[in-house]
Structure 1
């Protein structure tokens, strides 16, 4: 292998696996969030009567509830990513670092 540390990292199978897994997971969560968000926007555009339905004793509408679901889902998906990043991805990074230092 080359003595250049950057080339060693880029050519490492562990690094390539880490990048592939992390990118795939991030794209999956991004697509989920986009579907949730644009689904809500589509409801706003095309199903206004549905979103106007009163829930909870007529105090609030379904649109408000679904809007809160969109916000909460963003927090949940972020938490899912952080949990996996702090677990699996950090472990993979530590193994890669140990391999490259030896």
Structure 2
């Protein structure tokens, strides 16, 4: 059962033709790819250190420390991932949602 109504198709065509929609799509894609690249670079850099210089991660934080350098680096990677996710959510909830609602209002008119 399909719900292909001419009105729906016209609305979709108006949304796609709207310059704000095209800007929204570009901005979302740019932010998503940038943040994905940053996360991948961070994780792959860590994996490269684990693969090629694992002794570096075993170094103590300071003389006499029982905590190795790898622990704060791992925590930092996790925190960076959370912060980058929060950045995307904030952008989606502020800029992208506002632009989406404007596009929907203009397409209904």
Task: Give the TM-score, by structure 1 length.
Answer: 0.90
Match in the other structure for 1:46: 52
Partners of 2:107 and 2:14 in 1: how far apart? Answer: 8
Instruction: Let me know the Cα RMSD of the aligned residues.
Output: 1.5
SS in 2 for 1:59: coil
Partners of 1:59 and 1:91 in 2: how far apart? Answer: 50
Which of these two proteins has the greater Rg computed from alpha carbons?
A: 2
| Runs of 5+ consecutive residues of structure 2 not aligned to the other structure | 1-5
Match in the other structure for 1:12: 18
SS in 2 for 1:55: coil
Partners of 2:65 and 2:24 in 1: how far apart? Answer: 50
- Higher mean alpha-carbon deviation, 51-60 vs 77-86, is at 51-60
Higher RCO (C-alpha 8 Å, min separation 6): 2
SS in 1 for 2:65: coil
| Runs of 5+ consecutive residues of structure 1 not aligned to the other structure | none
Match in the other structure for 1:82: 89
Deviating above 2 A after TM superposition, structure 1's stretches of 4 or more consecutive aligned residues are: none
Number of aligned residue pairs: give it.
101
